[in-house]
Structure 1
Amino acid sequence: MDNSTTATEVSAPTDYDYSSASYDDDNPNAAPCSLRETWNFLGRFAPVAYIMVFILALVGNILVLCVIRRYRQSRHSPCSFSLTDTFLLHLAVSDLLLAATLPFFAVEWISEWVFGKVMCKITGALFSLNVYCGVLFLACISFDRYLAIVHAINISWRRKTCHAQLACAFIWVICLGLSMVDMHFRDLVQIPGMNRMVCQIVYSEQYSKQWQIGMQLVSMVLGFILPLLVMLYCYLHIFKALCHATRRQKRRSLRLIISLVIVFVISWAPYNALRMTDSLQMLGVIVKSCALNNVLDVGILVTESLGLAHCALNPLLYGLVGVKFRRELAQMCKAALGPQGCLGLVGWANGRGSSTRRPTGSFSSVETENTSYFSVMA
């Protein structure tokens, strides 16, 4: 069994191999690598990071869901959504479910896992499910923008949400199947010499390395490489379609395209690079050592926290940038607090010199006048 202390899956924030102490392979006579210093640092960093992401993701995605619900009720038709509106709804739900798991792991880092074996399996599977779903829904949003802008797919076809619902159902089923692997192998493990229980994936002795490397490869392909390739392909073609535009809103759309790709890469590339290093170490390509194990332990959790922050940024990147989304938000605020309580928000939502007339059509439509040509919820 691999004795490294590094994280091995994308399935939960605490997947470290604490089941046995690791040794420095450069010196067979050396004592086991100490986990105490690493645990002390991560025990201070992880709870703060997880709780901050939880709060920001909770507020932002609940706001998105409230605005979508209000918009749907005002149209009195479940088919009034565009494909992107449906993808955005599922993305917000996925990000909320992901954020809901973080307080459990924050408590684990503060003390230990106190919620029992059943909750360990459920929470780990829920985390894994929504990490996969979130990035795949981002890829779907990119593809829908590509169809709308580059190929100008007819809006009447795009407004039929059955296409998006089928795609979303397929994504949920595939990701649920992958998360069942997490649920099957997740268990409670005591940290050697520290008398603390943690919730982690525990593979059998016979299939340990094969399963670890195989699941890392699957999670890297589905959780980063495939969505990134789809986003790059779609946004590069969108960029080429809009690069000769002179309208100010089109120029803003180009900047938004660049921002979406850069934020996604910054959020998830460091984490996947470290996990690739961990896989190479397990395969023997990279020589194991206590120093490398400590770097991977700390680096994987810190970069994973950066990746998790993406679920808190999604409402800003895919919601508040849209003119119609801001208008719906202003209308919701006006209904709750009255006109005088939302004067600043109404002005911000309408934008400089724009009309206060309620827009028609899907709030993610790029064909509507006076909206961004790219903003997902324009």
Structure 2
Amino acid sequence: MATTDDYYDEDYNSTFDYGSLPAPCDLQNTWQFGSRFCPVVYSLVFLLAVVGNVLVLCVVWRYRHSRRGPCSFNLTDTFLLHLAVSDLLLALTLPFYSVQWAREWLFGTAACKVASAAFSLNLYSGILFLACISFDRYLAIVHAVSAGWRRNTCHAQIACAVIWVACLSLAAIDIQYREVVELPRSDIRVCQLVFSHGDSQKWQVSLQLVSMVVGFGLPLLVMLYCYVRIFRALCHATRRQKRKSLRLIVSLVSVFLLCWAPYNGFRLVDSLQRLSVIGQSCSLDHALDVGTLVSESVGLAHCAFNPLLYGFVGVKFRRELVEMWKGLLSSVGLLRLDSWGQKRHRATGPFSSESENTSYSSVVM
């Protein structure tokens, strides 16, 4: 996990021979800041992400349980389902790192490898599923792909399988190289990547560049292209539709940028420093440490924002959620539903519009 990798010079953690190396910068202030900041923020993100994504999964399960067959809703709904699973699994790894920052890594080497791999897997996959949702909306609106094709989830399942496999290959690095080691000149044990001394900088920079491309640059380009084309296609829509679409498009891109751009900016500076493009100093190292900690926490909060942006803004989703709560209250005798008030499910999916049209705003508003 980047939480510890980016804060300590890999040369000191991978060779275990500190006598021949220059003394590292003092990490005590960074660790003290992280021990106060990270447990609180990670716990808050964990709670919000679990509640939001569990509600999304409950609504999806309720809807699919009421329909027959695996293709009961469209491509966007399928991507949202995988996004919720990915965000939920990512959130479930955060308590491990909260404990690490509060004390140290207490869970052993096997848990270190598994938790780190799960973190990387779901971090990459969640962002790529956001790009898939953007591309599906682009096909449906700009190119007016038929509703029947979009309801066939076979295409989405293939795309999701490719994403999971690709992200699993990236997460395999954590399985191979994650270890529990003691920080230099300290008895604190942490879970982090450990490379040989000669390859440490090369591997660290390579992984950071791959992470920035796969986990930020490529998805951002896809989202920008798709949403710009979507908005241009809606120029002839009604004024109210245009206003709602503009608000939503701006909010989706802005939240993604605000969450992940600062973190990737700090990682880029760190990579340039490791390549000796930028001079090294303890003051710069401390600024990068603290900046990476804070910006990473903001990025992780995106898994708590996704249910709000991609689920709760949808008319049908909110309606399904209300009906689910009515059913629960009715089952315990707190609410009585008349037969004429029961929800009648449609085949367009819990996150879709009331009708299969090509209005972007009606799909998610």
Q: TM-score, normalised by structure 1?
A: 0.87
Partner of 2:302: 310
> SS where residue 338 of structure 1 aligns?
helix
Change (3 A) 1:257 1:333: same
Partner of 1:360: 346
Change (3 A) 1:212 1:31: closer
Distance in 2 of aligned mates of 1:219 and 1:304? 13
Match status 1:154 vs 2:146: yes
Give how far 1:341 is off.
6.2
Distance in 2 of aligned mates of 1:182 and 1:141? 28
Distance in 1 of aligned mates of 2:69 and 2:293? 44
Could you tell me which amino acid in structure 2 is paired with residue 191 of structure 1?
L
> SS where residue 336 of structure 1 aligns?
helix
Give how far 1:192 is off.
2.2
Partner of 1:17: 8
Structure 1 residue runs of 5 or longer lacking an equivalent are 1-10, 22-28, 347-354
Give how far 1:214 is off.
1.0
Match status 1:329 vs 2:321: yes
Equivalent residues of 1:322, 1:371 under 8 A apart:
no
1:194 counterpart (186, 203, 209):
186
> SS where residue 156 of structure 2 aligns?
helix
Give how far 1:361 is off.
2.8
Distance in 1 of aligned mates of 2:251 and 2:343? 29
Distance in 2 of aligned mates of 1:258 and 1:342? 39
Partner of 2:244: 252
Partner of 1:86: 78
Partner of 1:97: 89
Larger helix proportion, structure 1 or 2? 2
Give how far 1:77 is off.
2.2
> SS where residue 190 of structure 2 aligns?
strand
Superimposed CA distance per residue, residues 271-327 of structure 1 (whole angstroms, 9 cap, x where no aligned partner): 000000000000000000000100111111110000000000000000000000001
Single out whichever of 112-121 and 32-41 deviates more from structure 2.
Answer: 32-41
Superimposed CA distance per residue, residues 223-249 of structure 1 (whole angstroms, 9 cap, x where no aligned partner): 000000000000001111113322534
> SS where residue 180 of structure 2 aligns?
strand
Equivalent residues of 1:83, 1:161 under 8 A apart:
yes
Measured on the aligned residues, the alpha-carbon RMSD in Å equals 2.5
Change (3 A) 1:260 1:117: same
Distance in 2 of aligned mates of 1:256 and 1:295? 34
Match status 1:204 vs 2:190: no
Partner of 2:18: none
Aligned residues: 351
Give how far 1:176 is off.
0.2
Change (3 A) 1:367 1:146: farther
Distance in 2 of aligned mates of 1:235 and 1:248? 18
Change (3 A) 1:342 1:93: farther
Distance in 2 of aligned mates of 1:67 and 1:225? 32
Match status 1:172 vs 2:159: no
Equivalent residues of 2:326, 2:335 under 8 A apart:
yes
Structure 2 residue runs of 5 or longer lacking an equivalent are 14-20
Give how far 1:80 is off.
1.1
Equivalent residues of 2:72, 2:348 under 8 A apart:
yes
Change (3 A) 1:141 1:341: farther
Give how far 1:43 is off.
0.5
> SS where residue 156 of structure 1 aligns?
helix
Distance in 2 of aligned mates of 1:123 and 1:227? 24
Partner of 1:374: 361
> SS where residue 191 of structure 2 aligns?
strand
Percent identity for Structure 1 against Structure 2: 62
Change (3 A) 1:139 1:152: same
Equivalent residues of 1:139, 1:228 under 8 A apart:
yes
Change (3 A) 1:369 1:80: closer
Match status 1:267 vs 2:259: yes
Counterparts in 2 of 1:125-144, with a 5 A limit? 125-144=117-136
Change (3 A) 1:81 1:108: same
> SS where residue 200 of structure 1 aligns?
strand
> SS where residue 201 of structure 2 aligns?
helix
Q: TM-score, normalised by structure 2?
A: 0.90
